[in-house]
Amino acid sequence: MPTPAPPLAVATAGLGDVLQLFRTEPTLTRADVMALTGLSRSTVNQRLDALLAAALVVPSGEGAPTGGRPASRFAFNSERGVLLVADIGATGMRTALCNLRGEVRQEHEQSLDVATGPDIVLSVVDEAFRALLAEAGRAAADVHGIGIDVPGPVDFDRGQVVSPPIMSGWDRYDIRAWFAGRYDCPVLVDKDVNAMAVGEHRSLYPEVRQLLMVKVGTGVGAGMIIDGEVFRGADGAAGDIGHIQLTVDDTDNEPVCRCGNTGCVEAYAGGWALVRDLNAAGRPVSTVQEALALIRTGDVTAVRLARRAGRILGHAIADAVSLLNPGVVVIGGQLAQIEEQLFAGIREMVYRRSLPLATRKLSIAATALGPRSGLVGMALLLADSIFAAHRVEGLIARRD
């Protein structure tokens, strides 16, 4: 039996609640479900019958011998269908076919310029989806959900990109509608940093209530988990840590940011700023990856710039920690690869500047999922959305 037994709330557990148990635990016996829900044996069987009939749950062998008749075990039917997920970045994308637990089964990576616009990009995404389906021997009808995350603000409820700074041609583009014509399933669209936050949260810190995920790539952005849920703000614009303003330069000539302002975090510590500064220092690099490679060689100027970026990020993260008081801060994005050079500065600034009360239990960690956090997170977000307790009844009804 998995956990002691926290009987559910006053209201009796419905089909959805029981399914949640199976999504949480690998396998359960009827007795487990009784203990976890507080429902009677008869009712548990009734629930199970419905879930089995809908193939949402399947038998999964027998339990360990206990001296008496062994209990039959059941498991969430993660192979009942598949999920398709695409993590679209500025210059590349990852696509994956996942099972219904949101676990990645097949994954594909390719370069792709998001600025070629939604028509081309989504066609490429769909090609990748079709290839993944073919490879897995699945039909489009097996697709239970599609999740797309993009490097820009999203109106989550509508599934549209809104006012993106770098995705030219995507403003108000209705991604959901595009897929709705091709697949008959829910389509979720979210900002990449939100998906990344979910990925790290669910995979490594499920018990943490507040998590801040900072992505330091070409630009700088953040996704937030608040009370265990993605926090998007009033317009889906929350987490814009990259354009917090700092003026910690010794001189007064603040760097100009891509956003038009000056002195933004991103204009000091974003990948593009690093490339700019390395070039200015006579180190010809043209991409963020080249800049990172140079830093790894130990080039003094490059390392100095990386450390400065760490301190700048630390300032911004300290501000965010002061405001949000999260339990964990996770750093991801390309620059998280130079952890050693970056983290000292980040930790230094956060612990120096934020209230001791807020930093006492705070942990600051590098991404554990690396470049896959967005993909993994989007899949989990999608699975959660599809099998949300209040939707389960509908799922079953639809099958009939």
Partner DNA sequence: CCTATTACGTTCACTCACTAAACGAAAGCC
Partner DNA sequence: GGCTTTCGTTTAGTGAGTGAACGTAATAGG
Binding site for its own copies (CB under 8 A): 10-11, 14, 153, 162-163, 208-210, 222, 224, 226-227, 231-241, 243-248, 250, 252, 259, 261, 315, 318-320, 322-327, 352-358, 360-362, 390
Min. distance of Cβ 346 from its own copies in angstroms?
14
Residue 234 binding result from DNA, its own copies, none, given CB thresholds of 5 to 8 Å by partner type: its own copies
Separation of alpha carbons 133 and 127, rounded Å: 10
**Identity (one letter) of the amino acid at 293?**
A
- The dihedral over CA atoms of 247, 252, 258, 260, expressed in degrees to the nearest 10, equals 100
Q: Residue 187 in contact with residue 158, Cβ under 8 Å?
A: no
Residue 29 binding result from DNA, its own copies, none, given CB thresholds of 5 to 8 Å by partner type: DNA
Nearest residue (CB) to DNA, 68 versus 206 = 68
Give the residues across from 146 on adjacent strands. 84, 187
Please list, in sequence order, all residues whose beta carbon lies within 8 angstroms of the beta carbon of residue 95, skipping any fewer than 6 positions away. 84, 85, 86, 87, 107, 108, 109, 110, 125, 128, 129, 132, 375
Nearest residue (CB) to DNA, 39 versus 225 = 39
Which range binds DNA by CB under 7 A, 29-37, 143-151, 189-197, 216-224?
29-37
Binning the chain into helix, strand and coil, the percentages to the nearest 5 are: 45, 20, 35
Nearest residue (CB) to DNA, 13 versus 148 = 13
Nearest residue (CB) to its own copies, 257 versus 382 = 257
Binding-site member from 27, 30, 174, 293 for DNA (CB under 7 A): 30
Which range binds DNA by CB under 7 A, 32-40, 212-220, 341-349, 383-391?
32-40
Separation of alpha carbons 349 and 314, rounded Å: 5
Separation of alpha carbons 220 and 254, rounded Å: 17
**Under rule CB under 7 A, residue 8 binds DNA:** no
Residue 71 binding result from DNA, its own copies, none, given CB thresholds of 5 to 8 Å by partner type: DNA
Q: Terminus-to-terminus CA distance in the chain, angstroms?
A: 33
Nearest residue (CB) to DNA, 45 versus 163 = 45
Separation of alpha carbons 38 and 119, rounded Å: 51
**Under rule CB under 7 A, residue 390 binds DNA:** no
Q: Identify which of 317, 354, 361 has the alpha carbon closest to the alpha carbon of residue 335.
A: 317
**Under rule CB under 7 A, residue 31 binds DNA:** yes
Min. distance of Cβ 325 from its own copies in angstroms?
3
DSSP labels, 285-308:
--SHHHHHHHHHTT-HHHHHHHHH
Which range binds DNA by CB under 7 A, 39-47, 83-91, 304-312, 385-393?
39-47
Min. distance of Cβ 46 from DNA in angstroms?
6
Residue 399 binding result from its own copies, DNA, none, given CB thresholds of 5 to 8 Å by partner type: none
Separation of alpha carbons 330 and 222, rounded Å: 10
Residue 30 binding result from DNA, its own copies, none, given CB thresholds of 5 to 8 Å by partner type: DNA
Footprint on residues 45-104 left by DNA (CB under 7 A): 45-46, 65-72
DSSP labels, 115-135:
GG-HHHHHHHHHHHHHHHHHH
3-state secondary structure of 251: coil
Radius of gyration for the alpha carbons in the chain, expressed in angstroms and rounded = 23
Nearest residue (CB) to its own copies, 183 versus 231 = 231
Residue 41 binding result from DNA, its own copies, none, given CB thresholds of 5 to 8 Å by partner type: DNA
Nearest residue (CB) to DNA, 65 versus 298 = 65
At 172, list the tokens: 């108000």
Binding-site member from 4, 9, 42, 234 for DNA (CB under 7 A): 42
Which range binds DNA by CB under 7 A, 31-39, 166-174, 235-243, 363-371?
31-39
| E-state strands within the chain | 28-29, 57-62, 72-76, 82-88, 92-98, 104-111, 143-150, 154-155, 160-161, 187-191, 211-216, 220-226, 229-231, 328-332, 363-366
**Under rule CB under 7 A, residue 172 binds DNA:** no
Residue 46 binding result from DNA, its own copies, none, given CB thresholds of 5 to 8 Å by partner type: DNA
Residues that bind DNA (CB under 7 A): 12, 14, 29-31, 38-43, 45-46, 65-72
